[in-house]
Each structure stands twice: as structure tokens, then as C-alpha cells.
A and B are shown apart, each in its own frame.
Chain A
Amino acid sequence: MDLQTLTYITVGASFLLYFAIAIASRVSSTSEFYVAGKHIHPVVNGMATAADWMSAASFISMAGLIAFLGYEGGMYLMGWTGGYVLLAMLLAPYLRKFGKFTVPDFIGDRYGSTFARVVAVICLIFISFTYVAGQMRGVGIVFSRFLEVPIDTGLIIGMFVVFVYAVLGGMKGITYTQVAQYCILVFAYTVPAAFLALQFTGNPLPQIALGSHMLDGSGYLLQTLNQVLLDLGFTSYTDPFNDKSMIDVLAITVALMVGTAGLPHVIVRFFTVPKVRDARRSAGWALVFIALLYTTAPAVGALARMNLVNTVNGSGFGTAYQNMPNWFATWENSGLLAWFDHNRDGKVQYAAGNATDGKPQFDGDNRGRHGERVVLNPGKGEISTGALFANEIYVDRDIMVLANPEIANLPDWVIALIAAGGIAAALSTAAGLLLVISSSISHDLLKKTFVPSISEKQELLSGRLAAAAAICVAGYLGMHPPAFVAQVVAFAFGLAASSLFPAIFLGIFSKRINHYGAIAGMLTGLVFTLTYIVYFKGVFIEPVAENIPANWLFGISPEGIGSIGMLLNFLVALLISRFTPAPAEHIQQMVENIRVPKLGIK
């Protein structure tokens, strides 16, 4: 059976499984639609949270980022896991005790203000749509590469699948589908990693292999990798701060951690467990399941980099284009890989430096002397200090995980599995995001703000309609990515860190904080972070200043600025609350109440 048929069967089977789960978990009440009736076992919820959390970015992009950043990749690893400690101790158990349906629900009730609720809804919708557009795009990319259908067709199939189980099953359907998706994605991620680890070090456990000796006797894997990279003119893999400064790594890590804890689609998962105690344990289990992938990713990154160097440079001076393995041409066709023969020796060489001037532009499908795609924008072809030749290939970071099994010559079923895993990662996150968008519309905007008179049945129907509409908008964004989609991804975390997290945290840990403080704080954090990102990255407008460290505030990049936005939010919220009246008596009592697990205690 050829690879493509196998991939169709694997992906098709995974879709059938999702449909079966959707039909088995249809819902009939708003409580089931929003929070799965609060009946989810903490370990099951942990698994669903892990799938909810690990998106196309975690599955497809993260190992590639680590492969090229080396040490600095650690900021994503720490940033995207450390937030669960904050969730378990500072937010999840108290929000579970509060016991309502959505994040804006808490903000609206705690601050006794409809305006605060609406501000929270706006933050939530902005964060979630930014995120979901990226997921839909991820589905499209996997489809187009592995099933060889146009990106838009892939996207529509993805939209249809999410539509079926999110609209029908609400949170309940999504939860059980996410459990299935977690199993698929973690299996798809760890199996090729184990194969690779075994090939290079003889140890199948990636976490151990990364710290082990190479099988070829060249010493420790990381040491060898450092040496290989230095010989090609790159900086060392394990040495810190050669890509980013210490202050920037610190700021980005803080923004990602706090941002994770403030993401509505993650927080709302802890509303679904039966008890306060379960919310804490569930956060622990979620992190265990996430760590399975996150501790594997650094090994995948390092091995992928090594693998790339070995395959391309061969015994040291490059490989003739005709002799490159099949995957090279396949990825070249997708435009994510390009070769320009700077030294005209007909061999492909990989070293430090830019092979092309920015992203490669191809001369349609025209072929050059050796059968390669013609590149219209070659770089200068300079040889970096320490290297023997100029870099001749452009490699998109996103292909590292997807191409790895092919580069390592793994069996076809492993490659088919990667396709199903990538789609599972994107769909599970998209569904979680769509659900928080639809519940904030039907519950917070309709039921709690504009049309309080609607019945439960009407609210459920509007939730379903909102989910359907959100899927269409998400699909549209994925199909016509506005030029800024890639640029606004940093928003989601910075925004969650600087707007929602402080408002929720202070609402639980301070009885003195009032709606004046909370609203002013959220708006300050939001506006500051947005302005800083737009200033350097230019969304809708041209960037005002060049995005380089010399221009940054305290040397912090737009990616990490959410951490400063968060501090400003705290500062403003505390100051303003100090000079305005304390919250009403019943609100202070509510805070006392959510602090202890026992029911009805004052």
C-alpha cells in the first residue's frame, strides 16, 4: 500500500472515531453544553486539557523552534508548562468553587459590573480568534502536504469535522473527543522520536537519549551537536543567550507562563470537574500528559538538527542534488524548502547564513540545471566565519517535525500517524477555542447582558448557532489569513497575561480590589501591550519603529512585553482600588466563600 492511501485510511479512521464520540455524547442542557455537567473525572479532564492546550504550534512548530534556537527554546518549554503551577494554586480551585460557566461570568459577578463582564468578553474573543485562525491554517497545511489536496479543501474538511462534534456535543462532546485526540497526537509524536533516539544513541527514551553518548562513538550527543554546528559557522547549541538576551528570555518566559494561566479555553476546562480538589489534581494530570510531549520535544529538536546536517552535508562537503532523498523534492514542491547553488558545484550544502533573501520566491514551477526549483531571490552567498562553504538551503522551521520521519527513513505508517497527529492537535485546540467563544456570546452577552429573558432551550440553541458562526469565521480567517495572522500570535499570550490573569487573580486574593481598579487595570494592560506590539510589528498600520533590540523598552521584545503589561495592570488595579470605595458586603462574602472548599461556609 502506498503512503498516500495509508495516510487517507489513518486520518479517515480518526475522523470516524471523533464522529462516533460526538453521537454518543449529545447534550440537551446548557450546563452540559458549557461545562459537561461538571461530571468529568480529573484524570480524564487532565488528558482533555492537554489536548486542548497542545495546538498545531506545539505539535508542528515547537520542536523546529527548539532545533534552531538551541538553549533559548527552553523559554517555550518552561513558559508553556509553568503556567499550570499558577493555575493549580492561584486560579483553578477557586474558580471551580465559584461554580459558574465562563471566565467573564466570574469577572462580572466578582466585580458586580456588566461593563467588566463585557471587557472580559472582548479580551476573550480577541485572544481566542487569534489562536483559532492559526489552528485552521495548521489543518490546511497538514492536509495539503500529506493528502495532497488544496489547502482550502483541507480547511473545509477540518471545519466540517469540528462542526459536527462541537455543535452537537458541546463541552461534553469536545472533552471525550479531546481524550481520543490526545492519545493519537502523543503517540504520533513520541513514536518517531523514540525511533530517532534509538538510531542516534541506542536509547529509545528521548529524555535520556538527549543526554547520552552517540552510537558512532563521537561523544555525548549535545557535545557533538555543538561541535558540528560551530564547524558550520553557527553558534553553540547549548550555550545560553546567543540568540536572545537574558532579560528578553526572562520576560518572554514570564509572559508565556502567566498568559497560559490566563487563557480562557484552558481555565474553563477546570469548571468541568466534580470537586474543588479535583481541579487541583486535574491541573497536575494535565501537566503530566503535556510533559510527555514537552520533554520529548527538546530531543526531537536536537536530533532533527543533527539529522538535517548529516543528510544534507553527507561526509562533509554536501550531497549532489540528484542524490538527495525523495523528501527533499517533496518539501521543495510545497515551498517550505529551497536550494540555491551558490558555489555552482551541483551539491546541496547546509551552513550558517541566509541561502535566500527572506522567504524563497520561486519562478513558478520552472526547473534549474539539476531539476531544482528556480529561486528568484538568492542571498549573497557569503561564507560565515568558521564554515567551509556558504549556506545553500532555506528550511522552514515548521517542517522539522513533519519531515523528520521521512528524513530518518522511518516506515510509512509512522508518517501516516504524524499526519493524523498534527490534525488531531489542531482540531482539539480549535474546538476548545470555539466553545469558549460561543459560550461567551450565548451566555455572557445574550443571557447575562442583553436578553436576560431567554429560556434555557433558547440559550442552548444560540450557543450552537454561535459555535457554528464562529467556525465559519475561523475557517474564513484560515482561508484568507490577513497579513497579520502570524504577527498577532504573540498577542494571545501577552493579552491574556496583561488583561485577564491579574483581574481573576486579584479578584480571589484581594477583597479590597473593586470594579474601578479591575476595569482600569485590564484596560491599561490591554492597551499598553497592544500598542507596544503594533508599534514594532505593525498590525493594520506600518510598524512605527524597527523591531530590533536597540529600540525595545528595557531590551524586551514584543513577544515578552505582556509581562510588563501584567505588572502595569497590577499596579493600576491596586492603586485605583485604594482610592475608591471597597466592594459591597455581599461581594466580599462571595470572595470568602470561594476561598474555602466547604460549601456554605462564611
Chain B
Amino acid sequence: MNENEPTDFARQYWHANLKLIALCLFIWAFVSFGCGILLVEFLNQFKLGGYPLGFWFAQQGSIYSFILLIFYYSFQIHRLERQFGVEEE
């Protein structure tokens, strides 16, 4: 193996990371651009208490989702680090 190539573990870790990021960013785009903007008129037919649902996503829901996403990502990526032995000391 070429000594400049990354170790297999590092490479597998990176691929797993890219997949995880893709999943998280899909949800990120779905709640904000999807529910908050593109689908807002459709979702406004439904109500969450006094909130029209699309309006709620644009002004409240997307922000809560972002927070959950970051902590979910942090938790999952840390698991991957341990799994592939690339955790920092």
C-alpha cells in the first residue's frame, strides 16, 4: 500500500461520515426549504393549535429541527469515530 494513502479505517470512517451528513442535510432541507417554503401552502391547510402548519415550520419548527439534527449528528459521528478507531485522545 502506498504510504500516502489513508488507512482503510480512516477511509471507511470518511465514507460513513459522508453518508451521515447526506442524511442530515436531506432532513435539514426538507424541514426548511420543503415544509417551510415549497410546501407551505399545502401544509397551511392543517393546524397545530392556532398555527397553520406551514407557517409553524417556517417560524418555529425548522429551528427546533436544526437543533435536534446537530445533536443527532454529533452523537452518531462520535459513535463512528469509536467504531473506526479514529477518536481523538
Which of A's residues lie within 8 Å of B, judged by CB? 66, 71, 73-75, 77-78, 81-82, 84-85, 88-90, 207-208, 210-213, 220-223, 238-240, 246, 249-250, 253-254, 257, 275-277, 280-281, 283-284, 287-288, 291, 294-295, 298, 585, 588-589, 592, 595-599, 601-602
Contacts and interface: CB of A to CB of B under 8 A. Distances in A.
A377 to B, nearest CB: 35
Contacts of B36: 74, 78, 253
B4 A595 contact: no
Contact of A287 (B5, B37, B67): B67
A221 B6 contact: no
B9 to A, nearest CB: 8
B60 A249 contact: no
Nearest to B22: A89
Nearest to A207: B60
Contact of B50 (A221, A246, A276): A221
Interface of B: 3-7, 10, 13-14, 17, 21, 24-25, 28, 32-33, 36-38, 40-41, 44, 48-52, 54-56, 58-60, 62-64, 66-67, 69-71, 73-74, 77-78, 81, 85-89
Contacts of B77: 280
Contacts of B52: 222, 238
A298 B7 contact: no
Contacts of B69: 85
Rank and list the top 9 A-B pairs by shortest CB-CB distance, nearest first. Answer: A74-B58, A220-B50, A211-B49, A284-B70, A298-B59, A211-B51, A597-B88, A211-B50, A280-B74
Given A596-B10, A597-B87, A598-B88, 10 more contacts: A66-B59, A81-B63, A85-B66, A88-B74, A220-B49, A220-B50, A240-B54, A246-B38, A253-B33, A595-B17
A interface majority secondary structure:
helix
Contacts of A257: 32
Contacts of A246: 37-38
Contact of B6 (A77, A250, A281, A592): A592
A238 B6 contact: no
B44 A277 contact: no
B67 A602 contact: no
Contacts of B59: 66, 71, 73-74, 77, 210, 298
Contacts of B33: 250, 253-254
Contacts of B38: 246, 250
A602 B89 CA distance: 16
Nearest to B50: A220
A568 B55 CA distance: 31
A152 B49 CA distance: 47
A201 to B, nearest CB: 9
Contacts of B87: 597-598
A207 to B, nearest CB: 6
Contacts of A222: 50-52, 55
A84 B44 contact: no
Q: In the complex, which of the residues B33, B41, B44, B58 has the most CB atoms of chain A within 10 Å of its own CB atom?
A: B58
A595 B10 contact: yes
Contact of B88 (A220, A295, A599): A599
A503 to B, nearest CB: 19
16 contacts: A77-B59, A84-B66, A85-B25, A89-B73, A208-B49, A211-B50, A220-B49, A238-B44, A238-B55, A239-B44, A240-B58, A277-B81, A280-B73, A281-B74, A291-B63, A595-B10
Contacts of A77: 58-59, 62-63
A235 B14 CA distance: 50
Contacts of A250: 33, 37-38
Contacts of B17: 595
B80 to A, nearest CB: 10
A364 to B, nearest CB: 42
A284 B74 contact: yes
Contact of A277 (B32, B60, B88): B88
A596 B14 contact: yes
Contacts of A208: 49
A598 B88 CA distance: 4
A553 B21 CA distance: 32
A370 B21 CA distance: 63
A295 B62 CA distance: 10
